[in-house]
């Protein structure tokens, strides 16, 4: 029977066998006064041997620590809830039309309830079977574009994603959702922000920090939030939909050019930096936090500019760094360098001759800050002023990652140095925030609360 109790070990495995339950069963766990009911799901091979994981009726997985006093009972042998059903839910064709383009990552995976293995989603049926409530929100079509870890995606994949999204938009859908691994979802969101201009409808990237087979998976709630935004949001912008906090309440809609993954594992790992998020999805509604968005308008004609030049480097500065790294990039043919400098936008003076040489060789060199928050200001100190004199372009409050993507995109459109520099410092898709003395309203990021 243990093949149906995948991932469970030791005393828990024994208790489950004794209770005659197996993965997929609806069970009741009683601990003192507390009672939990849900579907027993398999553990990952990396899970501990102290918790049983069940999927609650709400769709969330929880882990319950098993002690001597814990009782386990099977409630129904045959019952299979809709989310592990293989049958297609009824579609209501009066609802908005949303296409889900899958590129891979945790969110595009589901557990095989017999083996516990994580498999990529391959059809609308599978998606519905994980998140059946999608059929109440929109009429869903799906396309599996890639099934990749996001750290393996390159600018060539950004081009493919942009083209695919554009195809679906041209068919008249009300919104497109792109499922994506979280590692580099911010880079791809920036890429789509520049490549998909004049959008008529929203393009919502979405990922998951925890796969369906782990306690507290965020896959279902993020996907629901993304489909709500794609089908109902008043904006036509590229956005990233991820949990606002560690609770399940709200899904934040981040600007595609201002979002950064700031925690390795938490469900609220994504934060909008230096400005307000676009909005949030709460109780099935889209609440806007900004007014400066392009409004949804299906008559608007999308302008697709999917070319990127991958001869651009992001170089993070550190004390004592060897300036020959700059020289190497120039020698092997790089056309652009984004420096991630210290503080207000500095590198050591040892770098200056190499930076000067790069610029003399028609390499565009621009400055961001490894501080992440704040704005580069290269006029305060001598080193900054000298870098400007050499020709380094200060990039205001742009994220280093967004700056890399933007320069790759610009060099995909033009080879003119002046045009490139002008475009770099021109706000195109919220990547540069206006300097403001008005404080962004208080919001607790709770980062110090994050468990390591």
- Known catalytic membership, residue 421: no
CB of 334 to its own copies, least distance (A): 9
Smaller CB distance to its own copies: residue 33 or 434?
Answer: 434
Decide if 216 contacts 247 (C-beta within 8 A). Answer: no
Nearest in space to 174 (alpha carbons), one of 143, 128, 139, 145: 139
Q: Look at the block and give the residue holding tokens 């959702």.
A: 177
CB of 264 to its own copies, least distance (A): 3
- Known catalytic membership, residue 182: yes
Hey, how many other C-beta atoms are within 10 angstroms of the C-beta on 424? 23
**Would you state the structure tokens that stand for residue 68, as one six-digit string?**
């001597």
Decide if 105 contacts 222 (C-beta within 8 A). Answer: no
Chain residues 131-190 in contact with its own copies, contact rule CB under 8 A? 149-156, 181-184, 187-188
Catalytic one of 261, 280, 335, 356: 261
Q: Does 382 bind its own copies (CB under 8 A)?
A: yes
Q: Look at the block and give the residue holding tokens 């579907």.
A: 39
The residues, ordered by sequence, that sit 6+ positions from 452 with a Cβ below 8 Å of its Cβ are none
**Terminal alpha carbon distance of the chain:** 37
- Known catalytic membership, residue 70: no
Q: Does 119 bind its own copies (CB under 8 A)?
A: no
Buried b (16+ CB within 10 A) or exposed e, 22-36: bbbbbbebeeeeeee
CB of 156 to its own copies, least distance (A): 8
Please state, in angstroms and rounded to a whole number, the distance separating the CA atoms of residues 95 and 12: 45
Catalytic one of 182, 184, 188, 275: 182
- Cβ burial of 154 (10 Å; 0-12, 13-18, 19+) is exposed
Q: Does 371 bind its own copies (CB under 8 A)?
A: yes
Residue 265: strand pairing partners: none
Please state, in angstroms and rounded to a whole number, the distance separating the CA atoms of residues 31 and 353: 69
Decide if 235 contacts 393 (C-beta within 8 A). Answer: no
Smaller CB distance to its own copies: residue 174 or 268?
Answer: 268
Smaller CB distance to its own copies: residue 93 or 442?
Answer: 442
Three-class secondary structure of residue 100 per DSSP: strand
Smaller CB distance to its own copies: residue 152 or 292?
Answer: 152
Catalytic one of 30, 70, 112, 183: 183
Chain residues 1-60 in contact with its own copies, contact rule CB under 8 A? 46
Q: Does 444 bind its own copies (CB under 8 A)?
A: yes
- Measured over the CA atoms of residue 328, residue 332, residue 335 and residue 336, the dihedral's sign is negative
Nearest in space to 408 (alpha carbons), one of 315, 329, 308: 308
CB of 61 to its own copies, least distance (A): 16
Q: Does 389 bind its own copies (CB under 8 A)?
A: no
CB of 346 to its own copies, least distance (A): 4
Decide if 387 contacts 367 (C-beta within 8 A). Answer: yes
CB of 128 to its own copies, least distance (A): 26
Three-class secondary structure of residue 390 per DSSP: helix
Please state, in angstroms and rounded to a whole number, the distance separating the CA atoms of residues 52 and 325: 51
CB of 445 to its own copies, least distance (A): 5
Smaller CB distance to its own copies: residue 202 or 345?
Answer: 345
CB of 332 to its own copies, least distance (A): 7
Q: Does 431 bind its own copies (CB under 8 A)?
A: no
> Count of residues binding its own copies (CB under 8 A)?
89
| Part in contact with its own copies (CB under 8 A); list of ranges 26-34, 79-87, 88-96, 441-449 | 441-449
Please state, in angstroms and rounded to a whole number, the distance separating the CA atoms of residues 195 and 25: 47
CB of 157 to its own copies, least distance (A): 8
DSSP code string of 351-367? GHHHHHHHHHTT-EEEE
**Would you state the structure tokens that stand for residue 437, as one six-digit string?**
């003395």
Q: Does 61 bind its own copies (CB under 8 A)?
A: no
**Would you state the structure tokens that stand for residue 216, as one six-digit string?**
């507290």
Q: Which of 168, 375, 406, 430 binds its own copies (CB under 8 A)?
A: 375
Please state, in angstroms and rounded to a whole number, the distance separating the CA atoms of residues 412 and 309: 5
Chain residues 390-419 in contact with its own copies, contact rule CB under 8 A? 396-397, 401, 404
**Would you state the structure tokens that stand for residue 380, as one six-digit string?**
């305060």
Decide if 180 contacts 254 (C-beta within 8 A). Answer: no
Here's the x/- map for its own copies, 271-300, by CB under 8 A: it reads as: xx-xxx------------------------
Three-class secondary structure of residue 225 per DSSP: helix
Chain residues 298-357 in contact with its own copies, contact rule CB under 8 A? 310, 313-322, 324-325, 328, 332, 340-350
Chain residues 230-269 in contact with its own copies, contact rule CB under 8 A? 261-266, 269
| Catalytic center residues | 106, 182-183, 261
């Amino acid at each position: 029977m243990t093949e149906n109790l995948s991932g469970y070990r030791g005393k828990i495995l024994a208790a489950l066998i004794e209770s005659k339950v197996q993965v997929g069963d609806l069970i009741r766990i009683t601990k003192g006064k507390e009672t939990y009911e849900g579907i027993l799901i398999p553990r990952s091979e990396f899970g501990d041997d102290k918790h049983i994981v069940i999927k609650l009726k709400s769709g969330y997985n929880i882990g319950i620590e098993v002690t001597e006093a814990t009782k386990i009972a099977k409630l129904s042998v045959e019952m299979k809830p809709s989310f592990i059903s293989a049958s297609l839910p009824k579609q209501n064709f009066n609802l908005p039309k949303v296409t889900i383009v899958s590129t891979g990552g945790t969110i595009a995976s589901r557990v095989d309830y017999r083996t516990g293995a994580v498999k990529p989603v391959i059809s609308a049926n599978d998606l519905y079977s994980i998140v059946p409530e999608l059929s109440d929100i929109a009429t869903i079509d799906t396309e599996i574009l890639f099934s990749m870890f996001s750290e393996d995606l390159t600018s060539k994949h950004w081009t493919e994603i942009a083209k695919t999204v554009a195809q679906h938009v041209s068919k008249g859908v009300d919104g497109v959702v792109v499922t994506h691994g979280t590692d580099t979802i911010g880079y791809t969101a920036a890429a789509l922000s520049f490549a998909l201009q004049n959008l008529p409808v929203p393009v919502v990237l979405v990922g998951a920090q925890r796969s369906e087979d782990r306690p507290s998976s965020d896959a279902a709630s993020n996907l629901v939030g993304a489909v709500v935004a794609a089908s109902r949001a008043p904006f036509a912008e590229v956005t990233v939909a991820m949990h606002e906090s560690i609770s399940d309440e709200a899904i934040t809609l981040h600007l595609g050019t201002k979002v950064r993954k700031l925690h390795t594992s938490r469900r609220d790992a994504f934060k909008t930096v230096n400005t307000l998020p676009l909005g949030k999805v709460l109780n099935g509604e889209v609440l806007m936090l900004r007014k400066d968005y392009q409004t949804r308008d299906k008559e608007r004609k999308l302008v697709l500019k999917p070319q990127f030049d991958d001869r651009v480097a992001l170089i993070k500065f550190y004390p004592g760094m060897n300036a020959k790294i700059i020289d190497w990039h120039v020698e092997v043919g790089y056309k652009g360098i984004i420096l991630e400098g210290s503080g207000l936008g500095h590198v050591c003076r040892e770098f200056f001759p190499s930076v000067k040489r790069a610029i003399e060789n028609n390499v565009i060199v621009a400055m961001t800050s490894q501080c992440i928050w704040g704005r580069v200001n290269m006029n305060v100190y001598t080193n900054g002023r000298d870098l400007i004199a050499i020709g380094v372009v200060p990039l205001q409050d742009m994220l280093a990652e967004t700056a890399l993507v933007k320069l790759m995109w610009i060099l995909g459109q033009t080879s003119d140095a002046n045009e490139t520099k002008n475009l770099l410092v021109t706000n195109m898709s919220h990547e540069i925030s206006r300097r403001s003395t008005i404080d962004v309203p208080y919001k607790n990021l709770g980062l110090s609360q994050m468990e390591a």
